[in-house]
Amino acid sequence: MTSTSGSGRDFGELRRVVVKVGSGIIAPAGRLDPPVIERIAQDVTTLRDKGLEVVLVVSGAVAAGYLGMGSDRPPVSVVERQAAAAVGQYQLMTMFASVFEERATVVAQLLMMQDDIEDRRRFLSARHTLQELLSRGILPIVNENDPLADDEAKIGDNDHLAALVTSLITADLLVILSTVAGVLRFRDELEAKEGAEVISTIEVGSEIDDHITDDQSETGVGGMKAKVRAARLASDWGVPTVIASGKEPGLLSRIVSGEDVGSLFVPADKRLTERKRWIAIRTRSVGSISVDDGAKRALVERGASLLPAGIVEVEGEFGIGERVDLLDGSGQAFAVGLVSYPASEIQRMKGRQSEEFLEVLGYKYVEEIVHREDLVLLDSKNNSEERFADDDDD
Ligand code: GLU
């Protein structure tokens, strides 16, 4: 555990940190870069020596694998990417295992894809595995399960994966190491090349899109946009995120000590329960329910559950417990939630009073179509009723 109070940035007591390292840093031009990996191992070891639990999210399987696979260019097709990742992931882990072994640290590999997040049981299973590893002082190294993940099954980019892992293990800080020093303040190409200033603090809801370039490497998928999206996600769950340079030795240690380096995304003033975070981070909604203004107000302002009377429209085929988007009159999604009834029954009950369940359906399961405990508002500015601290309720 390390404390930052009294220094530049106050992260409070830090216990768990997720550090994401991208392909551009560890495997530029199709080859793993041993000195860089050595340096990262040293920096991570410094954090662990301070008593912090660290989970690494490491990209580079595709980048490191394509030459070894006998190709002279980054893969184009999905299956080529998968094959390159199968070669590269092994090389990547071999190298990380070796540099950490020199530092008396055992590493573990965890490969995840979308279903591991969507499915509550697999999600909890991943969480328990990570917790067990951390409690034994092992360093988990996470990547997407690229060799098996086709485009449908993918989480997509490792910045997003890192944000999900942050939620999965209830980390206190997410650090995304980038090839640039943070989110840069510049207006044109020329300024960008000459070294623009890093935006030090990014508040919830601030407009920074003008500053984000769409840089993208051939083997990584993120670019700064994906990093900012991931940082926003984590900060929306109340976890601070720092995007900083992955090229500077010793920077990680300075970041956790609260030094003003890189760009800090200030966390939203709320802590969702673990279960609500899981509802929010799942990537797919299987349908939608449109509600009237009165119902939206009750959900947003009064922290109410969704009852049948406020429902205007139901879209999609879904069963009990599946996730849907809740839409307002303009078709805008303002919340996500797990339904207590299947789509066909909600269709029949929409606009009706709760007393009519028996008459219309012939049975009543519960009163709420989406119970408050199964609902998460999307806009943090409206989330006043979610401002409670609750941690591991799995
Ligand atoms: N998971 C991919 C890899 O290891 C990289 C994805 C990303 O760059 O975000 O190659």
105 and 154 in one domain? yes
> Measured from the CB, is residue 56 less than 6 Å from ligand 1?
no
The whole domain housing 58 covers 16-270
pLDDT of residue 98: 98
Q: Is the pTM of this model over 0.75?
A: yes
Domain membership of residue 8 (yes or no) is no
* Structural domains in the chain (count): 2
Domain membership of residue 264 (yes or no) is yes
Distance 266 CA to ligand 1 centre (A): 26
pLDDT in tens, 224-251: 888 988 998 888 888 999 999 999 999 9
200 and 221 in one domain? yes
pLDDT of residue 385: 38
Domain membership of residue 393 (yes or no) is no
Angle between helices 158-168 and 120-135 (to 10 degrees): 80
220 and 295 in one domain? no
Mean pLDDT of 138-159: 91
266 and 279 in one domain? no
In this model, does residue 213 exceed pLDDT 70? Answer: no
> Measured from the CB, is residue 140 less than 6 Å from ligand 1?
no
To the nearest 5 percent, what fractions of the chain are helix, strand and coil? Answer: 40, 20, 40
358 and 215 in one domain? no
Distance 146 CA to ligand 1 centre (A): 8
321 and 184 in one domain? no
Question: Of 231, 249, 270, which marks where a domain is finished?
Answer: 270
> Measured from the CB, is residue 145 less than 6 Å from ligand 1?
no
In this model, does residue 218 exceed pLDDT 80? Answer: no
> Measured from the CB, is residue 178 less than 6 Å from ligand 1?
no
290 and 199 in one domain? no
> Measured from the CB, is residue 23 less than 6 Å from ligand 1?
yes
Place of tokens 């301070």: 50
Find all residues with CB under 8 Å of 117, minimum gap 6, and list them: 123, 155, 164, 281, 282, 283
In this model, does residue 361 exceed pLDDT 50? Answer: yes
The CATH number of whichever domain residue 316 belongs to comes to 2.30.130.10
The CATH number of whichever domain residue 230 belongs to comes to 3.40.1160.10
> Measured from the CB, is residue 222 less than 6 Å from ligand 1?
yes
Domain membership of residue 343 (yes or no) is yes
Mean pLDDT of 366-384: 77
174 and 128 in one domain? yes
244 and 293 in one domain? no
pLDDT of residue 206: 75
Which residues share a beta bridge with 198?
A: 184
198 and 58 in one domain? yes
> Measured from the CB, is residue 345 less than 6 Å from ligand 1?
no
Position in ligand 1 atom list of the atom nearest CA 23: 8
Domain membership of residue 93 (yes or no) is yes
Place of tokens 């910045």: 159
